[in-house]
Chain A
């Protein structure tokens, strides 16, 4: 696995973990069933992208992949950061707030994840499927 792919995987895993930890930290401030709904919602949102990433990694585990152009790698990393930040800032602000609503948070996560998925879908498809040709 080259550095660009590793960076993308790390970004998704770190931001997912941050959100799961943030929700766990305030699990007492929501009803148990809402806590479960929140955890499942975030996992469901990330599952789409992590399926592509992990699927490609395991499928090409033994092949040596060629490094993509640096400018493409940086663009993909920035877009992935942008998508993850768009979701994570709301989760963090929820966990730090003295009053908020789980219903509003779920509405935000749903709409933001689907509306901004164009930021990462193309990059992930390139880096983990079409563009990941084995090095000759």
Chain B
């Protein structure tokens, strides 16, 4: 009788422990954290598709919109401090989007990046040069507008490139993919083609209400009937690239597309 009671007690104890463990596991798996609840209301991820930015180097091409109501601004990890409402389309190597309050650094939302389009074959290539491939010389421009450079850069760069934003220290870098340059007729009739990729970095030398941003460009020359491109020193191609950057900066400053 005594043995039977002991057996029953130990069985109940084991069952109780197992139930507690199951409940704890269930709590862990359910996304009920405050940041995820906020994310579902404030951030809408439209597309996440896998791409390659170089051989064996995958990334996501993402587009999303967000709205954090009446806050003066928000901080998006990798992008910087931007308006509380907006939409972005760029390349990311992160597994999630992170929104923070720029004043107290508290997390406003964390959104995991889950593929919306699954590519059955090898993901498409959006070749992007490494930062060490860019020539070290740069062109500096001044940004003295009230609007955020990130937002303007997103809309203007998006017309020509896909870009990968990231931060290093207090500097934001926007590294772009290649886009074709429209060359003069005498070059294009000869079958000469050219590509340009940019590395935009900011802010530098901040003073009240303005700072400068740097643009490094990598220009490559190709031929119409080949997929091999080579760095160029052709003055006409380099001049076309310079004019392209001028147009881009002017569009960023005026907001015209």
Contact = CB atoms under 8 A, between A and B. Distances in A.
Interface of A: 26, 28-31, 34, 94, 97-103
Interface size class of B (residues with CB under 8 A): under 10
Given A28-B190, A28-B191, A29-B191, A101 B227 contact: yes
B189 to A, nearest CB: 9
Nearest to B224: A29
Contact of A29 (B225, B228, B230): B225
B191 A31 contact: no
Contacts of A34: 223, 226, 228
B226 A101 contact: yes
Contacts of B225: 26, 29-30, 94, 97, 99-102
Is chain A's binding surface mostly helix, strand, loop or mixed? loop
Contacts of A98: 224
Interface in B180-204: 190-191
B224 to A, nearest CB: 5
Nearest to B190: A28
Contacts of B226: 29-31, 34, 101-103
30 contacts: A26-B191, A28-B190, A28-B191, A29-B190, A29-B191, A29-B223, A29-B224, A29-B225, A30-B191, A30-B225, A30-B226, A31-B223, A31-B228, A31-B230, A34-B223, A34-B226, A34-B228, A94-B225, A97-B225, A98-B224, A99-B224, A99-B225, A100-B224, A100-B225, A101-B225, A101-B227, A102-B225, A102-B227, A102-B228, A103-B226
Contacts of B230: 31
Given A26-B191, A34-B226, 7 more contacts: A28-B190, A29-B224, A29-B225, A30-B226, A34-B223, A97-B225, A101-B226
A97 B223 CA distance: 12
Interface in B140-154: none
Contacts of B190: 28-29
B227 to A, nearest CB: 5
